[in-house]
Structure 1
Amino acid sequence: MTPAARLSAAIELIDTIERDRVPAAKALKEWGTAHRFAGSGDRAAIAGLVWDVLRRYASSAFLMDADTARARLIGMLRLERDMDAATMAALFDGSRFAPAPLTEAEQAALSHRSLRDAPAAIAGDYPEWLDPHLAKVFGEDRAAEAAAMASRAPLDLRVNTLKSNRDKVLRALAHLHAKPTPWSATGLRIELSADARNPGIQAEEDFIKGAVEVQDEGSQLAAQFTAAKPGEQVIDLCAGAGGKTLALAAMMQGKGRLIATDSDKRQLAPIHERLSRAGVHNADVRTPKGEADPLADISATADLVVIDAPCTGTGTWRRNPDAKWRMRPGALEIRLRDQAEVLERAVPLVKLGGRIAYITCSVLAEENGEQVRAFIGRHPEFAVVPPEQIASVLWDKAEDFAKAALQSPEGWLMTPRRTGTDGFFVSVLKKTA
């Protein structure tokens, strides 16, 4: 397919997503099935265009002063890919399979309109109903913070120190231009241009042998801030597919007891193979069965309970750009109840002097600091570990991190704009009585 034909296909897909209200991933899959002549490169390029339009869904329409799939694609090409009108005109030439030529109105919009006077929700590309929630956290910076959450994320990897070290993996992945991440001592980053395909990490020897895993640097830091130590009893209460479980296992150096569980047993399905590949031998995966509590035999013995809490996922918008447009106010209320419930579940597991690490991939105050304050109000036997103490695990980078991340009395908030990571909140609560 020509570049112009790819643009036409993207417009068709965006129109389908809007008209039929289907998730982007489903629409892309169905399009690929129906257009088998399109090669893998074509499908990847078209998917990149669609995802980028969803990243700039509101701002692109505002820029073009038109609420259509075509207008959004044109606006995105200017805002996200910095394409000028002349370059676009060469693609929008009306030839076979190419989009129709740019209209006078479209050319005028590209020449004279900007986001200078756009409302924060438009400039930041997020649903208007979330504006007061983001203003509570970021104030006048909310548009800039949200815009950073709309840009494409890099591909971050975590080196599994049970099997290798960063220098060795860096050499092995030199052909992918991997570089050390700014904060995590076990992190690698592969920067991706706007139209780049994701590299096939799963086919790399180091991935196959378990020396490296895909994990955002913010998620890596969240695991590091728990300060899990060799010999401890650690419970990963919301283990899911096991990303943080693997990071905790490496921190524990294979020593101690690591228990991974999740209320949704379907989420645990990939964890067994991942643990095996990573060479983790001290993990006990407990899958829920019926109404029985898989942790019924544990009472006040855990040194650390990690809660990677169910949340709105606002911190991962740059990886899931259509999720923010499908999010509804009721989802926040549901997640707040889920978070309170899992925090309560952790309380009887923790021994005196033990701690709960509460983590979300959300930037909303209600899910983060406010949730922690409510928990402390219910359980005065717990106290928040000072954020500066949490960040001390970064050693010589702790001071720079403190300047970059957003600190509150309850913990740390990382964002793409501040720390170059996904949005993550981390609070550590110690049982003092």
Structure 2
Amino acid sequence: MTPAARTQAAIDILDEVIAAARGGGAAADVLVARYFATRRYAGSKDRRAVRDLVYAAIRRAGEVPVTGRAALVGLARDDDGVAATFDGSAHGPAAIEHDEAAAVAGAVPDWLSRALSASGLAVADQAALVARAPLDIRINRLRADPAALATELGGEPIAGLPDALRLPTGTNVEPLAGLVEVQDAGSQIVTLAACAKPGQHIVDLCAGGGGKTLALAAAMDNRGTLLATDIDRPRLSRLPPRAARAGVTIVEPRLLDGGREAAALADWQGHADTVLIDAPCSGTGTWRRNPEARWRLTPARLERFTTQQRHVLALGAPLVRPGGALVYIVCSLLDAEGAEQIDRFLADRPGWTAEPLTLPAGRPRGEGIRLDPAHDGTDGFFVARLARPC
């Protein structure tokens, strides 16, 4: 593919990404993969170059661009090399008109910028939300010696996380499946709030594919009981093979029926030492990996997330034994999903208290701790640990 043809391919893909963002369609990485699945002539360098153009344009435009061409024209305004590819050649885009509309540069949509600012995240720090994310891994101490594997792999150690490494972007970790898990340092840090120990009885209430479940199992030294639940069958189905590769045998996956979760969890009422809730959320802390997600979020969708969060908190609280703890996590930087949810929870449940947390990164926010890309170099998270009265 010529440079011009690569730019036109990026424009075509961006048209699909924009339509998907407006209509709730597939994610950008899926659309990129689909595009090249029917274009076998494109080599690996072509695919990489086109993907880089697509994501550069997505990261640059805070508001949803009108078209894919407008997104790339905006990128061309900042990059003479990209501008030169608008040459009107047979497979390339037409030349840019002098007064042609271009996507406006920005970190996030205006309404979200205001909401983040109101939640204590300065405008100057919001650009970090869409910067490129590093490659962090957690070494699985059930199957590998962290020190030995760290020496073998190289990479950078991450302060406060003896099982973590930051590897060069693009490192192929697939041959290490089971020995390591790809997991952002922030995700590893907030999981520490569970204070998981061998022999405990723990519930991972919104387990999904099991990233935090497997981290909990390693902290428990594969001893105790670990119930992993979710209402999403496809996501939860990924946990058993991952657990098998990781040598984890204490996990019981349990698929819940939405709206009937309490009945399915009756055998755990008042039994768990810790209930970890990695709640469904806006994902404002994970835009480094999914930058087009900020185009999908609306005030109405945010309200649905906060309603779901109140639901899972109400579902998890009765599972905690007297004297036990509930750990609430969201990969969001909005107070509506973090500090304000905890304030509401404590106001509605006399006797419950927020326990102080000491974590390797993050800063106090309300009754919890918040991590963000600008200050901590991790994905964004809010975490709080709540103790049930004895």
Answer yes or no: is 1:173 the counterpart of 2:167: no
Between Structure 1 and Structure 2, which shows a larger proportion of helix residues?
A: 1
What residue number does 1:13 align with?
13
The one-character-per-residue Cα deviations of 1:177-214 (angstroms, maximum 9, x if unpaired) are: x322344222122343xxxxx44322x2x22xx11011
The structure-2 alpha-carbon separation of the partners of 1:380 and 1:124, relative to structure 1 and needing over 3 Å to count, comes to farther
Deviation, structure 1 residue 276: 0.6
Answer yes or no: is 1:212 the counterpart of 2:180: yes
Answer yes or no: is 1:362 the counterpart of 2:319: no
Distance in 2 (CA, whole Å) between partners of 1:33 and 1:97 is 19
The structure-2 alpha-carbon separation of the partners of 1:161 and 1:124, relative to structure 1 and needing over 3 Å to count, comes to farther
Distance in 2 (CA, whole Å) between partners of 1:35 and 1:382 is 58
Deviation, structure 1 residue 415: 0.8
- Can you give the 5+ residue segments of structure 1 that lack an aligned partner in the other structure? 62-66, 116-121, 193-197, 395-400
Answer yes or no: is 1:420 the counterpart of 2:377: yes
The one-character-per-residue Cα deviations of 1:226-256 (angstroms, maximum 9, x if unpaired) are: 2111111111111110000000001111122
Asked if the contact 2:73/2:83 (under 8 Å) is kept, the reply is no
- What does residue range 155-234 of structure 1 map to in structure 2 within 5 Å? 155-174=135-154, 178-192=155-169, 198-202=170-174, 204=175, 206-207=176-177, 210-234=178-202
Distance in 1 (CA, whole Å) between partners of 2:264 and 2:274 is 17
What residue number does 1:263 align with?
231
The structure-2 alpha-carbon separation of the partners of 1:374 and 1:160, relative to structure 1 and needing over 3 Å to count, comes to same
The structure-2 alpha-carbon separation of the partners of 1:48 and 1:241, relative to structure 1 and needing over 3 Å to count, comes to same
The structure-2 alpha-carbon separation of the partners of 1:102 and 1:299, relative to structure 1 and needing over 3 Å to count, comes to closer
Distance in 2 (CA, whole Å) between partners of 1:12 and 1:285 is 41
TM-score (normalizing by structure 2): 0.89
What residue number does 1:145 align with?
125
The structure-2 alpha-carbon separation of the partners of 1:352 and 1:131, relative to structure 1 and needing over 3 Å to count, comes to same
Answer yes or no: is 1:76 the counterpart of 2:67: no
Answer yes or no: is 1:240 the counterpart of 2:239: no
The one-character-per-residue Cα deviations of 1:108-142 (angstroms, maximum 9, x if unpaired) are: x99xxxx9xxxxxx764222222331121225x2x
Letter in 1 for 2:61: Y
Residue of structure 2 aligned with 1:54, choices 27, 51, 58: 58
Asked if the contact 1:260/1:284 (under 8 Å) is kept, the reply is yes
- Can you give the 5+ residue segments of structure 2 that lack an aligned partner in the other structure? none
Q: Secondary structure at the match of 2:350?
A: coil
Letter in 2 for 1:285: P
RMSD of aligned Cα (Å): 2.7
Deviation, structure 1 residue 225: 1.9
What residue number does 1:272 align with?
240
Distance in 1 (CA, whole Å) between partners of 2:136 and 2:305 is 27
Structure ranking higher on relative contact order (CA contacts 8 Å, 6+ apart):
2
> How many residues of Structure 1 are paired with residues of Structure 2 in the alignment?
384
Distance in 1 (CA, whole Å) between partners of 2:240 and 2:134 is 27
The structure-2 alpha-carbon separation of the partners of 1:19 and 1:246, relative to structure 1 and needing over 3 Å to count, comes to closer
Distance in 2 (CA, whole Å) between partners of 1:422 and 1:371 is 20
Q: Secondary structure at the match of 2:318?
A: helix
Question: Identity across aligned pairs (percent)?
Answer: 41
Deviation, structure 1 residue 282: 1.6
The structure-2 alpha-carbon separation of the partners of 1:326 and 1:237, relative to structure 1 and needing over 3 Å to count, comes to same
TM-score (normalizing by structure 1): 0.81
